[in-house]
Chains A and B, each alone.
Chain A
Amino acid sequence: MNVDVSLIDWSRAQFALTAMYHWLFVPLTLGLGVIMAVMESLYYKTGNEKWKRTAKFWMKLFGVNFAIGVATGIILEFEFGTNWSNYSWFVGDIFGAPLAIEGIIAFFMEATFIAVMFFGWKKVSKGFHLASTWLTVFGATISALWILIANAWMQNPVGMEFNPDTVRNEMNDFWALALSPIAINKFLHTVISSWLVGAAFVVGISSWFLLKKREKEFSIDSIKIAAIVGTIGIVLSVITGDSSAHQVAQKQPMKLAAMEGLYDGGNGVGLVAVGLLSCDKEPNDGKDPDIFNITFPKMLSFLANRDIDSYVPGINDIINGGYPTEKGVALSTQEKMDRGKLAIAALADFSKAKKAKDSTALYDAKQRLDENFKYFGYGYFKAPEDAVPNVSLVFYSFRIMVILAAYFLLLFIVVWIINHKKKFENMKWLQWVCLLSIPLAYITSQAGWIVAEVGRQPWAIQDILPVMAAVSDISVASVKTTFFIFLVLLTVLFVAELSIMIKQIKLGPEAEDTLHG
Chain B
Amino acid sequence: MGKKWEITFTTLVTFGGAFFASFPLFYSTSFGGAYWVWILLLLTFVIQAVSFEYIYKQGNLYGQRTFKSFLFINGTLAPVLIGAAVSTFFYGAEFAVNKDNLTGVMPIISSWQNCWHGLEAVAVVENVVLGLAIFFLARCLAALYFINNIDNTSIATKARKQLLINGIGFLIAFLYYLVRLLLKSGWREDAVTGLISQEHCLYWHNLLQLPYVTAIFLVGVVLVLYGFIRTYFASRWRKGIWFAGIGTVFTVLALLLFAGFNHTAYYPSITDMQSSLTTANSSSSLFTLKAMSVVSLFIPFVLAYIWYVWRKMDKK
Contacts and interface: CB of A to CB of B under 8 A. Distances in A.
Interface of A: 1-3, 63-64, 66-68, 70-75, 77-78, 80-90, 92-97, 99-105, 107-116, 118-120, 122-124, 128, 132, 163, 166-168, 170-172, 174, 344-345, 347-348, 351, 380, 469, 471-475, 478, 482, 485, 489, 492-493, 495-497, 499-504, 507, 511, 513-515
Given A472-B35, A507-B58, A93 B284 contact: yes
Interface stretch (B38-46, B178-186, B209-217, B225-233): B38-46
Contacts of A132: 309
Contacts of B62: 492, 496
A74 B13 contact: yes
B285 A171 contact: yes
B21 A104 contact: no
A92 B20 contact: yes
B10 interface: yes
Given A89-B109, A115-B310, 4 more contacts: A67-B49, A123-B312, A168-B24, A351-B103
Please indicate which of the listed interface residues B19, B49, B56 has the most CB atoms of chain A within 10 Å of its own CB: B49
Interface of B: 2-4, 6-7, 9-10, 12-22, 24-25, 27-33, 35-36, 38-39, 42-43, 45-47, 49-50, 52-54, 56-62, 99-100, 102-112, 115, 117, 284-285, 287-288, 291-292, 295-296, 298-299, 302, 305-306, 309-310, 312-313, 315-316
B298 A105 contact: yes
A305 B314 CA distance: 58
Contacts of B22: 96, 100
Given A67-B53, A478-B36, A103 B14 contact: yes
B298 to A, nearest CB: 6
Contact of A104 (B6, B14, B42): B14
Contacts of B316: 122-123
Nearest to B295: A101
B109 A71 contact: no
Contacts of A497: 50, 54
Please indicate which of the listed interface residues B10, B27, B49 has the most CB atoms of chain A within 10 Å of its own CB: B10
Helix, strand, loop or mixed for chain A's interface? Answer: helix
B6 A496 contact: no
Contacts, number: 310
A93 B25 CA distance: 9
Contact of B287 (A81, A170, A348): A170
B288 A171 contact: yes
A474 B112 contact: yes
Contacts of A511: 58
Contacts of A71: 9, 45-47, 49-50
A122 B312 CA distance: 11
B21 A86 contact: no
A347 B24 contact: no
Nearest to A84: B32
20 contacts: A1-B105, A1-B106, A68-B49, A75-B42, A82-B31, A85-B33, A92-B20, A96-B17, A97-B288, A99-B17, A103-B18, A114-B6, A115-B4, A119-B3, A123-B312, A472-B28, A474-B35, A493-B50, A496-B50, A514-B57
Given A74-B9, A88-B31, A100 B58 contact: no
Contact of B32 (A83, A99, A107, A120): A83
Contacts of A124: 312-313
Given A123-B316, A124-B313, A474-B117, A170 B288 contact: yes
Contacts of B42: 74-75, 78
Contacts of B288: 93-94, 96-97, 170-171
A449 B22 CA distance: 29
Contacts of B60: 496, 499-500
B39 A482 contact: yes
B111 A473 contact: yes
Given A67-B54, A105-B295, A163-B285, A74 B102 contact: no
B284 A96 contact: yes
A86 B28 contact: yes
A511 B58 CA distance: 10
Contacts of A502: 59
Contact of A70 (B21, B49, B310): B49
A471 B35 CA distance: 13
B21 A504 contact: no
Given A74-B45, A88-B24, A514-B56, A171 B10 contact: no
Contacts of A170: 284-285, 287-288
A489 B51 CA distance: 13
B101 to A, nearest CB: 9
